[in-house]
Structure 1
Amino acid sequence: MENLNMDVFTCFSKDWALVTCGEKEDYNTMLIGWGGLGTMWAKPSCTIYIRDSRYTKEYLDKNEYFTVSFFPKGHEKDLGYLGRVSGRDEDKIAHTSLTPMSVNHGMSFKEAKLTLVCKTMYKQRMELSQLSEDMQERFYKDGDLHNMYIAEVVEVIQ
């Protein structure tokens, strides 16, 4: 596994990332702003959080692998679009300037500066009762909870 030189505290929230799941014939991608990198069960790991309502969740629940791709500056318009529009409704990639490409166990994009190929080790839906009242009020008034996916990073593509 390669060493990564990135700010783990801002790589999701400020630099933005896409999570992509599925294969060339059938995949979906979405913008994510919450996640983390570290070590879990003695393996390099990536943790992502996906709301119940997101179409990508269906892909994550039926596939063992997913990718997380980080992009250089200049792709904010495309990434924002992929975060606003559902793949249930249209081929949203066709409305961007991004170029999909197959990688081991999934899909990424030629424009990505870094892609993590991830294998799910654990997934769980958050429980509203376990969240502090201020978090419930701030993020979950509508009941659309997040699901946590902890995955082993099996490949780094730079």
Structure 2
Amino acid sequence: MKEIQVKDLQLNPMTLISDGWMLITAGNEQNGFNTMTASWGHLGAIWGTNKGLPTATVYIRPQRYTKEFVDREEEFTLSFFSNDYKRQLAYLGTHSGRDEDKVAKMGLTPEFVDNTTYFKEADLVLVCRKIYKAPLVEEGFLDKKLITENYPEKDFHTMYIGEIKKVLVRE
């Protein structure tokens, strides 16, 4: 992997995230890590000075094991893969790291950088520093159909905004 500047990214976040999916990973080699597949998120800029901080926003349900790691750590990563890894990503999104070493089972190789974890097989990695966290709340939904369709158990996601500190791409 080689590091590039965030402003040099050439991608479509709509297809990258919703169609391609990503792994949200937090933790490190010393204290352990966990990962989960996500297809909801945002890339953009907010706050800061001039043009805003480059940021990634992710959403994690309260029951997800990965949430414990994201809450505990200062950093998290987003790893994006080629479509060749769709089967592995599907598995990682439907099985818990509480119950098994799902990363090893799927044959992915953890890499450790900046006190966090990403995967050697990824094509793109965003290393993010948490800068904001807030739960989604029922009162915030103007379109109540979204609650019915996405939250029948009222298990609203927590939103995390991370400043993108490093971008790694496959060479």
TM over 0.5: yes
Q: 1:99 aligns with which of 109, 115, 118?
A: 109
State the Cα RMSD in Å: 0.9
* 1:91-129 deviations in Å (ceiling 9; x for gaps): 111210211111223111111000000000000000012
Per-residue Cα deviation, 1:46-74 (whole angstroms, up to 9, x for no partner): 00011111111111111110000000120
Please say if 1:84 is aligned against 2:94: yes
Do residues 134 (structure 1) and 145 (structure 2) align? Answer: yes
Q: Return the alpha-carbon distance in structure 2 between the equivalents of residues 53 and 128 of structure 1.
A: 17
Equivalent residues in 2 for 1:18-29, closer than 5 Å: 18-25=23-30, 26-29=32-35
Matched, 1:15 2:20: yes
Return the match for 1:154 from 135, 141, 165: 165
CA distance in structure 1 between the aligned counterparts of 2:150 and 2:96, rounded to whole angstroms: 20
Structure 2 counterpart of 1:39: 45
Equivalent pairs: percent with the same residue? 42
Relative to total residues, which structure has the larger helix share, 1 or 2? 2
How many equivalent residue pairs? 158
- Cα deviation for residue 143 of structure 1 reads 1.2
Q: How far apart are the structure 2 equivalents of 1:106 and 1:61?
A: 13
Q: Could you tell me the TM-score, scaled by structure 2's length?
A: 0.89
Alignment partners' CA distance in 1, 2:79 and 2:147: 29
SS at match of 1:78: helix
**In the aligned structure 2, how far is the partner of 1:69 from the partner of 1:127?**
28
- In structure 1, runs of 5+ residues without a counterpart are none
